[in-house]
C-alpha cells in the first residue's frame, strides 16, 4: 500500500506535552520519521498540548485523578483530528486506550534505571538518618520507605528543571529522576549515580516512548511501523500486561521490568504498600512470545500473596 506522505504544506501533526523532555521525545519521533521517509523536518509540525497534569502541579497525582491526567487532552485532540499522532512517555500511559486509538509503535528504549540526584549526597547508600527526600512517585516513595523508614518524604512535582530548582532551594536533600529523561535532555551529569534495578526496580515501561494514532489512520499506521522497535514492544507487552492485571494506576506502588536474553524474556515485578511497610516481589522467565501471559500470571501470583487490603484502593 502506498500512502500520501506529509509535506511542508500539509505536515503530519505530532501532539505532545510542552516540557523540555516531552519536546525532546517529540523531536526524536520527528527525526526518525524524517529519516525513514527522506522527508524534511518541515513536513512535520510539533503541536504542544497542555494536560491537566501539567496545569495542576501543587497537589499529588492521586488527588486529581491518576495517569490519564497526562494524556486525556492530547487524545481528545487526536480523536478530533487536530493532531495525527501523539508522543508519550510510556510510564505515564494507562493500560487501555480510548476507543478509536491505538498504541503499537515504540522507539528504542533508553536506560530504565532511576537516577539518584543530590547536590550534596554522593549516593542513595549515603543518605543520612532522617534525610528529607523529594518525590512525587508513590513507587519511589514506597520503595525508599521500605528500606529506610527513618527518612521524610515530601511532594516533589514538576519537570526536571523545576525539581532541580527545588533541590537548589533546599526543599529536599535529594530526589529521584529517570536516567532516560536525563539522557534525552543531555543532562546525564545531573545524576549522582544510577540505581541498579536490583536495588530499586523501575516503573513499568520506564525509559520507553510510545506513539499513539487513530485506529483508522492508515498513513500513520504505515509510517509508524517503519520506526517501531520490536524488542521494546516485546518487553512492554509483558510489563503492561503485568500492570493491567494489577489494575495499576498512579495511586498504586508497582514496579516491573522485562529484559531479553536471546529468545528468553525475564520479567521481574514488585508491589508495595503505599507506606512502604511491606513489599512483595517475584520474577519469571520464558519464551518472548509468552510475555503478556507471563505478566498476567506474575501479577496474579503477587495478588494472591498480598491478600485483601494490601493496596489502599483494594
Q: What is the predicted pLDDT for the residue at 313?
A: 46
63 and 25, same domain (yes or no): yes
pLDDT confidence band for 314 (50 / 70 / 90): very low
pLDDT, tens only, 210-223: 999 999 999 999 99
Other CB atoms within 10 Å distance of the CB of residue 304: 8
CATH number of the domain where residue 278 is located = 3.30.160.40
| DSSP H stretches of helix in the chain | 20-37, 52-55, 61-64, 72-80, 138-147, 160-168, 179-184, 218-225, 230-245, 291-306
CATH number of the domain where residue 101 is located = 3.40.190.10
pLDDT, tens only, 103-125: 999 999 999 999 999 999 999 99
- Alpha-carbon distance values, 179 to 58, 73, 117, 176, 196 (Å): 24, 27, 10, 9, 11
Q: What is the predicted pLDDT for the residue at 30?
A: 98
pLDDT at 67 over 90: no
Total number of domains in the chain: 3
Q: Which of 291, 297, 215 is nearest to 260 (CA)?
A: 291
212 and 95, same domain (yes or no): yes
Q: Are 135 and 141 in contact (CB under 8 A)?
A: yes
Cell numbers that stand for 199 in this block: 536495588
149 and 271, same domain (yes or no): no
86 and 212, same domain (yes or no): yes
In a domain, 4, yes or no: no
Percent of residues, the chain, with pLDDT higher than 70: 92
In a domain, 200, yes or no: no
249 and 132, same domain (yes or no): no
pLDDT, tens only, 143-195: 999 999 999 999 987 777 888 889 999 999 999 999 999 999 999 999 999 99
- Alpha-carbon distance values, 258 to 241, 249, 264, 313 (Å): 11, 19, 10, 26
Q: What is the predicted pLDDT for the residue at 56?
A: 56
Is residue 92 part of the annotated active site? The answer reads yes
| Average pLDDT value over all residues in the chain | 91
131 and 273, same domain (yes or no): no
Q: What is the predicted pLDDT for the residue at 100?
A: 96
Q: Are 286 and 264 in contact (CB under 8 A)?
A: yes
104 and 219, same domain (yes or no): yes
β-bridge partners, 45: 13
Which domain does 270 fall in, by range?
239-304
CB burial readout 206-231, b (16+ within 10 A) else e: bbbbbbbbbeebebbbebbeebebee
99 and 125, same domain (yes or no): no
- pTM over 0.75, yes/no: yes
pLDDT at 2 over 80: no
Query: Which is catalytic among the residues 54, 92, 111, 114?
Result: 92
Amino acid at each position: 500500500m502506498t500512502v500520501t506522505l506529509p509535506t511542508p504544506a500539509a505536515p503530519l501533526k505530532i501532539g505532545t506535552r510542552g516540557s523540555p523532555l516531552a519536546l525532546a521525545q517529540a523531536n526524536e519521533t520527528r527525526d526518525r520519521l524524517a529519516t525513514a521517509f527522506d522527508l524534511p523536518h518541515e513536513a512535520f509540525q510539533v503541536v504542544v498540548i497542555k494536560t491537566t497534569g501539567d496545569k495542576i502541579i501543587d497537589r499529588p497525582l492521586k488527588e486529581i485523578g491518576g495517569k490519564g491526567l497526562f494524556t486525556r487532552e492530547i487524545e481528545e485532540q487526536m480523536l478530533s483530528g487536530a493532531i495525527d499522532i501523539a508522543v508519550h512517555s510510556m510510564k505515564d500511559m494507562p493500560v487501555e486506550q480510548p476507543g478509536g486509538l491505538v498504541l503499537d509503535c515504540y522507539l528504542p528504549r533508553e536506560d530504565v534505571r532511576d537516577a539518584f540526584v543530590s547536590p550534596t549526597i554522593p549516593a542513595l547508600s549515603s543518605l543520612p538518618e532522617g534525610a528529607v527526600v523529594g518525590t512525587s512517585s508513590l513507587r519511589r516513595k514506597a520503595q525508599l520507605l521500605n528500606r529506610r523508614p527513618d527518612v521524610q518524604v515530601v511532594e516533589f512535582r514538576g519537570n526536571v528543571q523545576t525539581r532541580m530548582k527545588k533541590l537548589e532551594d533546599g526543599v529536599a536533600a535529594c530526589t529521584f529522576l529517570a536516567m532516560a529523561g536525563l539522557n534525552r535532555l543531555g543532562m546525564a551529569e545531573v545524576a549522582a549515580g544510577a540505581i541498579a534495578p536490583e536495588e530499586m526496580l523501575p516503573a513499568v515501561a520506564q525509559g520507553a516512548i510510545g506513539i499513539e494514532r487513530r485506529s483508522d489512520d492508515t498513513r500513520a499506521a504505515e509510517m509508524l511501523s517503519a520506526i517501531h522497535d520490536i524488542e521494546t514492544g516485546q518487553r512492554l507487552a509483558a510489563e503492561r500486561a503485568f500492570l493491567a492485571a494489577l489494575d495499576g494506576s498512579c495511586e498504586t506502588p508497582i514496579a516491573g521490568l522485562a529484559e531479553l536474553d536471546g529468545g528468553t524474556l525475564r520479567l521481574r515485578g514488585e508491589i508495595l504498600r503505599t507506606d512502604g511497610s511491606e513489599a512483595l516481589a517475584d520474577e519469571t522467565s520464558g519464551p518472548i512470545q509468552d510475555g503478556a501471559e507471563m505478566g498476567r500470571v506474575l501479577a496474579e501470583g503477587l495478588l494472591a500473596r498480598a491478600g485483601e487490603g494490601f493496596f489502599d484502593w483494594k
